[in-house]
Amino acid sequence: MKKHTVNVAIYMRVSTKKQADSKLGLEAQERNIHEWLKYNYPYQDYEIDITYFVDEAISGAKFERIQLQNMLKLIQENYFDLCVIYKIDRLARDIEISAHIRKVVINSKCVLCSTTENFDLTTIEGTFVYNINSVFGEYERAVIKKRTEDSQISRLTRKEYPFRASYGYIRDDNKVMQINEDEAKIIRFIFNEYMACHSYEIVRQNLISTYNIKVSEDFISRALSKTQYKGCFVKNGVTYYDVLPVIIAEDVFDTVQKIKKESYKAKRSEQYLYSDLIFCVKCRQRSIKKLVKKPRKRYYYYHCETCNKYINIEKKEYEISSTVCYHVLENKYTEDNTQYINRINYLEKRKQTIIHDYAVGAIALIYYHEVIDAINDEISKLKYKIAIKENSINYSQMNAIQKTLFYQTHVSKIYINFDNKIVENIVFKENKKKK
Ligand SMILES: [Zn+2]
């Protein structure tokens, strides 16, 4: 007698690595499913072709499970006759997801079977059982979550710390947090050094030279803002003061927060030397400062809101500063600079011609870009040479505040072509002496 072939999909899921060892573990699910298959589809009558779909360490409340998605796709393509699970909650712990799965299954030739629950999706009663079990799965998930949170809170009130120990701490046999002196020493060093020098980079270097310990600036930054170190632990909006021993005195901790805030402000103004002088050449609007935070870096941009374009102006500092220095010195130059100045005047005229030609479409963008860059480079160098010669402006020695003031004093507008990231024109304030 010819055996009947059945294409079987077996779906299994464990939500945590820990669960793999419990009775809901993968091995247990698989053993159970095989026994069920042996009983319902005896080998002497059926040729069973099994495909496994296993999702590990993922919640049943998530739909974006790779293996589940793969299986549903094949079910839709009528690849399977039978899909076997241990329990509906393996498939979904969310009513909406289980409803979607049910729809996919009943629109295919596939029959869904649970080894521990009895339902037939082609009948009203079977659908009822399926739905009830789905609701129960979701309820159970909510209960588990609540129970975990309750247990965490009751442990916190018993002065236990139910989370992974932070750097600086160690859990004792009674599950109470104690100070790990070797690590706490490093944390205190970081706080003290930072208070003295206000720089992550210097703290980092001193850690290497003093303790031969290499950490990232990010590690230092995070350590400096951990309230745990002053003995405060916050969970669900509640502060617990007695689960973590104090490593850093509160006044030291608070002082460091103040320094961090101020040095951040200083850093910010350093990045925005031109404050509100940057304008868009296209729409003539003033651009705004825009800080873009990425996980490990901050980017300081000027943003034209009208054109929705950005520029990182940092790279233009050399060009802008040399032009402004040159302008300030304009009335002071001596005979020695004549050849430089003639060359600069020629280049400026050439630049205007190129900008005009590009604007009327006479030259290609790539050519425009190349020539303008080359001209700007040469002008910057010439102007810098003159400024140095005159020796009356020492821009490179100015700090961020002096630089900002310098621009505020002499410049009224800086026009930027946001399309090509080119400084097209700098408008200077009227020189009162000239009048
Ligand atoms: Zn614009």
| Ligand 1 centroid – CA 306 distance (Å) | 5
End-to-end CA, the chain: 113
- Residue 295 confidence (pLDDT): 64
Report the pLDDT value the prediction gives residue 434, as an integer from 0 to 100.
Answer: 42
**417 Cα: distance to centroid of ligand 1 (angstroms):** 8
Print pLDDT tens along the chain (435 aa): 577 889 999 999 988 766 655 656 888 889 999 999 999 888 888 899 999 999 988 888 888 899 999 999 999 999 999 999 999 989 998 889 999 999 999 999 999 999 988 888 878 888 888 988 888 888 888 888 888 888 888 888 888 888 888 899 998 888 889 999 999 999 999 998 888 877 888 899 999 999 999 999 889 999 999 999 999 998 888 889 889 999 999 988 988 888 888 777 767 767 788 878 999 999 999 998 887 777 667 778 899 999 999 888 878 888 898 888 888 777 554 556 788 888 989 999 998 888 888 878 888 777 777 788 788 878 877 776 676 666 667 787 777 777 887 888 789 999 999 988 889 999 988 754 443
Q: Report the separation in Å between the CA atom of 416 and the middle of ligand 1, taken as the mean of its atom positions.
A: 9
Instruction: Give 303's DSSP letter.
Output: E
Q: How far is the CA of 395 from the centre of ligand 1 (A)?
A: 30
pLDDT for res 433: 46
Could you give the CA distance from residue 435 to residue 430 in angstroms, rounded to a whole number? 9
How many other CB atoms are found less than 10 A from the CB of residue 70? Answer: 14
Give me 255's structure tokens: 């002082």
How many residues make up the chain in this entry?
A: 435
**How many A from CA of 180 to the centre of ligand 1?**
56
In one letter, which amino acid is 85? I
- Report how far ligand 1's centroid is from the alpha carbon of 277 (Å): 14
Residues with CB under 5 A from ligand 1 (ion): 280, 282-283, 304, 306-307
Q: What is the pTM of this model?
A: 0.49
Closest C-alpha among 69, 71, 77, 84 to residue 108? 77
Domains of the chain: 4-151 (3.40.50.1390), 169-268 (3.90.1750.20), 272-434 (no CATH)
How much is the pLDDT for 389?
A: 65
- What integer pLDDT is reported at residue 111 of this predicted model? 92
